[in-house]
A and B are shown apart, each in its own frame.
Chain A
Amino acid sequence: MENILEIADFKLNIGDFSIDIPHFGVKTGETMAIIGPNGAGKTTLMHTLALLKKPNSGTIFYKGTAVSGNLVEARRKIALVSSEPCLLNMSVYNNVAAGLKIRNLPSNEIDSRVNRWMRHFSINGLSGKSARQLSAGEAHKTALARALALQPEVLFLDEPFSSLDPSAKENITANLQNVLSVTGKRTIIITTHNLNEVVMLADRITFMDKGRVIQTGTVEEVFGTPANETVARFTGMETLLHGTVRRSEGGTAGIDVLGKVISASTDAKAGENVLVAIRPENVFITDVEEGAKTSVLNHYSCVIRDIVQLGNFYKLSLDCGFPLSCFITKQSIDSLGIQKGKAMYASFKATSVKVIKRPG
């Protein structure tokens, strides 16, 4: 699949901050999520791709052709939805129609498109209402309807729902997902902090940090094999431990972490310094020291140091000689009689341990 948007040799300096991206591309029809910590340069990259920010150097390619000259025509092929709805001080109808009027489309075409997209987002009843009187959720839906009414080839979503409460965010994300599935696949570039949105919407992820692209890949690749500690932490690796490979044989390594040996599936060589990443959802708790013979290679005695409720489940902080986090249901808390200070056993598979090689 060819790239619909590409940027090459992109450099941009904003005060002390600089963005330097040798190459970045988005394939036609895919949803690309740009994620990373605050100040990573995600929005700046998005604004550059959306032809709103001029790079100090570099070329933007649209369908393989360098974008230059009059930008208005190129901008009319894309649409942007920002973290704030950015509505004009006029009615909902006129807001949704704004971009269409700018394009001087015939009034019957405008009317048909506006009504269609207002219906998609269930805001047709608010047509005559002033944008100033809308709730945050309604305003975001209006902004989405305005963008999609333009039938853009590329849709940019810049932390689109960050100002909404979690339930409204979930609702509007589901609404958007539903609308997109009904109205056809299109290229979407989204910046977000919300990993749920990434999992729900994205085909591929680009992770940015300090103005650089650290990793690009599918959701499974970036979440499963994070390129470095920052990516690992950002993508929810609760346990990150520094260790040294003591032995390596047949694709399985024994890694020394604070005097304990953790088995991991990796091609790291003996003597290498590595970072061991373990997701809390991959850790099991039991009160049995030695169970039946299993494929689980990592089994440690531990003490429960802390229990924190996270919505429908709990996070346990364990001391196995090294710190370890584990997610567990209320049902398991009750059935195992889990409480602070209790001695238990924690286990996890070597294949669920991600090993990140550290430079040097």
Chain B
Amino acid sequence: MELILDNFKSAFGHILHLDVNIMRIFLLSLIVSGTATAISAIFGIMIGAAIALSKFRGKRLLLAVINTGMGLPPVVVGLFVVLFLWRNGPFGSLHIIYTPWAMILAQVIISLPMVVGITIAGFQQIPVSLQLQVISLGAKRLQFLGIMIRESRVTILAAVMAGFGAVISEVGASMMTGGNISGQTRVLTTAIVSETNKGEFDMAIALAIILLIVTFVVNLAFTFIQQKDTKHEWKIYWK
């Protein structure tokens, strides 16, 4: 017990003294996962909307593939990204393996199916009668899409939150594609693994606390945006 308490005390010390290493790791995590989430959000919402609002042969099969993608193990993603970016691989000439770009690419692959899948679910909740109403108001394609995105914003923000949560907390893909190089590709999750392996528990705890705070703060911001219109919702009454 004393070991844990001492390490916690030391961990808070690292945080309060704004340890340069920790700050660098924290910022890189935020940049990598933030960029990956932003890319996934932009493309994921568009792809999700396009799939949800169109009717085509094989749609159910595609939805099954997307839903499977929502549960892709990060290490599997990491493996294939490494294979493709390896020096002799199809995209080896890009020379981005063991750089933050490779990590971003892997994280986009992890979060994109989540954003697409949840966006599709959100769009499918919009009644057809409302869609027809918006078309009858004279909306052009992009105006229609904008209004539909606005109408399903609660679900879409949930999709973005789920995507961010998945990538900020994954370790396998980042470790494999970034290599956990100190000062270059070390992010919060990979740093926690290496600090724990080294027995530097205080540093690992400090990084873990920061990881939790980052996740909480980002989700808090999204939740406030998401829930701002729901304060008058009906309250379930039991007794």
Contact = CB atoms under 8 A, between A and B. Distances in A.
B137 A47 contact: no
Interface stretch (A71-79, A193-201, A248-256, A327-335): A71-79
A103 interface: yes
A326 interface: no
Interface in B200-233: 229, 232
Residue of B138, B229, B232 contacting most chain A CB atoms (<10 Å): B138
A99 interface: yes
A102 B137 contact: yes
Interface in B134-188: 134-140, 143, 147, 150-151
B229 A52 contact: no
B54 interface: no
Nearest to B234: A132
A156 B133 CA distance: 11
A47 B132 CA distance: 9
B137 A99 contact: yes
Contact of A99 (B132, B138, B232): B138
A52 B143 contact: no
B232 A52 contact: no
Nearest to B152: A89
Secondary structure class of chain B's binding surface, majority of residues: helix
Contacts of A26: none
Given A88-B151, A89-B229, A132-B232, A103 B138 contact: yes
B133 A86 contact: yes
B232 A80 contact: no
A146 B136 CA distance: 11
A102 B143 contact: yes
Interface string A76-99: 101110101010111000000011
B132 A72 contact: no
B129 interface: yes
Contacts of B135: 52, 75
Contact of A75 (B138, B151, B232): B138
B127 to A, nearest CB: 8
Contacts of A86: 127, 129-130, 132-133
A319 to B, nearest CB: 47
Nearest to B136: A80
Nearest to B130: A86
A103 B137 CA distance: 9
B138 A84 contact: no
Nearest to A104: B143
A351 interface: no
Given A88-B147, A89-B229, A133-B232, A72 B140 contact: yes
A118 interface: no
Nearest to A77: B138
A225 B142 CA distance: 50
Given A88-B147, A130-B229, A133-B232, A75 B129 contact: no
A102 B135 CA distance: 10
Nearest to A84: B129
A103 B150 CA distance: 18
A102 B139 contact: yes
A19 interface: no
Contact of A50 (B136, B140, B147, B150): B136
A86 B137 CA distance: 11
Contacts of B138: 72, 75-76, 99, 102-103, 150
Nearest to A86: B133
Contacts of A130: 229, 232
Nearest to B141: A72
A98 B143 CA distance: 11
A51 to B, nearest CB: 8
A132 B231 CA distance: 11
Given A76-B138, A88-B151, A102-B143, A82 B229 contact: no
Interface string A130-159: 101100000000000010001000001000
A84 B136 CA distance: 14
A99 B139 CA distance: 8
11 contacts: A75-B136, A82-B129, A82-B132, A84-B127, A86-B129, A86-B132, A88-B147, A88-B151, A98-B147, A99-B138, A150-B137
Q: Give 10 closest A-B pairs by Cβ, nearest first.
A: A76-B138, A86-B133, A99-B137, A80-B136, A86-B130, A75-B138, A102-B139, A52-B132, A102-B138, A86-B129
Given A50-B136, A72-B138, A75-B138, 16 more contacts: A47-B132, A52-B136, A72-B140, A79-B137, A82-B129, A86-B132, A88-B130, A88-B134, A89-B150, A98-B134, A98-B137, A98-B147, A102-B139, A102-B140, A130-B229, A133-B232
